[in-house]
Amino acid sequence: MLIQRPDYLNFLIEWKEQQIIKVVTGIRRCGKSTLFDLFRDYLYSIGVEEVQIISVNFEEAENDELCDHQTLYRYVKSKMQPDKMNYIFLDEIQHVKDYQKAVDSLFVKKNADVYITGSNAYFMSGELATLLSGRFVELKMLPLSFREYVSAFDEPVSKEELYRNYVYNSSFPYTVGLDSRRNIHAYLDGIYNTVVLNDIVARKKIQDPLMLKSVIHFMFDNIGNLCTVKKIADSMTSAGRKISNHTVENYLEGIIDSLLMYRVSRYDIKGKEYLQLQDKYYLADMGLRYYLLGTRDVDHGRILENVVYLELIRRGYRVYIGKIGAVEVDFVAQDYDGNTEYYQVAWTVRDEKTLERELIPLDSIADHNPKCLLTMDNDPPVSHNGIRQVFVLDWLLDR
C-alpha cells in the first residue's frame, strides 16, 4: 500500500526540472524510496515516458557494480534520451564512492533532472554541503505524520485510538501493514540495530557498542527533559558504566547524525538570544521508544510533546525551547519569514491548578505573537486571555 505523502510530493513537483540537485534525506525506512515511487507515478500521469526515467537503488545487490562513480556515470549516460528531459533517481547514493563526481557530471547536462537520497545526516548536512555546495536543495523526511497515518485506515476508528496505535506501534510506513505486535517489534528491531551498527558505530568507529546502547537507552527515557553532557555521563557512571564527557559528546553526535534523535536548543524569549547549555532531545519515532523501553512508567505528556515537536518541524518551522524568566515555554516556532508562534503541550488541563500552571509561561510573554495550548482534552476550542486551547489531535490533522 502506498501511503500518500502530499507535502513531500509537492516539494518535488515544485522543484521539478529546475537546474538544481534535489536531495531527500531522512532516517532509514522513513519512506524516501516510496516517495520516489509516488513522484514517478506523478510523472507518468503528466505524460512522461518510461524511457525518460532512470532509477538506481544502491541497496539492491544487482547494482553493486554501479557503486563506482565512473561506472555509474557511464551507465546513466547510456540510458539517457538525447532529445528529451531525463529524470534520474539515485537512491541511497552514499554507497557510491566519490558519488559527487557522478552527480556533478549529470547535473550539468541540460536534459538531466537529478534526484538523490541518503539516510545519514552527517553525510547529507556535512559532506554534501561541502561536495555539492550551492547546487542542491534538501527535503528532510520524517516517518509518517499523524495525518498521513490516519489516511491509511478506512475503518471508523476514533482519533484517540488511532493516536494510541500511532505512538505505540510506530510511525514508520511499513508497520501500517503489519498485523501483530510481534511482527512490528521484529521490524523495529531491524531498523534500530541497523541504525546503531551502520549509521553510528561504523561511521563513528565506536569501540564500545554496549556503552553506546546504554546512552541511547538513557536518551530514549529522557525525551523532553533538559540534558547536558555531564548529566548523561554522571548517570552512566552512577549506573556502574564510567564514561567521559568527550565520549558522550561523540555518541550524541552519532545519534543526532543518524537522525535517530533531534537536539533542540533553548531560546531566551525576553533577551532574544540562544542559550548554549541544557538542550532537549526528541525521538524520530515513538514506536522505537516502546520497542526499547517497554510500557512501564510511560509519561504520556512527554510522548505527546515529542509528537508535537516532530509535527512543527514537518511544517517547516525552526523550533526552540523557550525560556522566559524562571519558566519555560515548550516550543518557540519560527517560520521562514521570521514569524513566531508559541506552543505549550499538556496531556490534560481539566484540573484548574494544572491549567493555571500551563498558562503561566505563555502569559509571561509580552509580545503579541500567537500562543497555543495543545492538550488531549477533546473539548471545544477555548481562549484564555488570547491563548488558544486546542484539542491536539484536531491540530495534528489540520493542514
Distance CA 360, CA 358 (A): 6
Distance CA 110, CA 317 (A): 33
CB 153 within 8 A of CB 166: no
For residue 275, the model assigns a pLDDT of 79
Distance CA 392, CA 248 (A): 35
DSSP annotation of 170 reads -
H/E segment holding residue 281: strand 273-283
Sheet holding 86-91, edge to edge: 53-57, 86-91, 112-118, 21-25, 136-140
CB 334 within 8 A of CB 318: yes
DSSP annotation of 114 reads E
Question: Per the structure block, which three cell numbers stand in for 279?
Answer: 538542550
Give how far Cα 158 sits from Cα of 164, 374, 375, Å: 10, 18, 16
Residue recorded with cell 488511532: 162
H/E segment holding residue 327: strand 327-334
The beta-carbon contacts of 237-242 under 8 Å, at least 24 apart in sequence, are 239/214, 241/211, 241/214
Each of the 399 residues of the chain gets a pLDDT tens digit; together they read 789 999 999 999 999 999 999 999 999 999 999 999 999 999 999 999 999 999 999 999 999 999 999 999 999 999 999 999 999 999 999 889 899 999 999 999 999 999 999 877 656 556 777 888 789 999 999 999 999 999 999 888 999 999 999 999 999 999 999 999 999 999 999 999 999 999 999 989 999 999 999 999 999 999 999 999 999 999 999 999 999 999 999 999 999 999 999 999 999 888 788 877 789 999 999 999 999 999 988 999 999 999 999 999 999 999 999 999 999 999 999 999 999 999 999 999 999 999 999 999 999 999 999 999 999 999 998 999 999 999 999 999 997
Task: Spell out the alpha helix ranges (H) of 55-144.
Answer: 69-79, 99-107, 121, 129-131
Residue count of the chain: 399
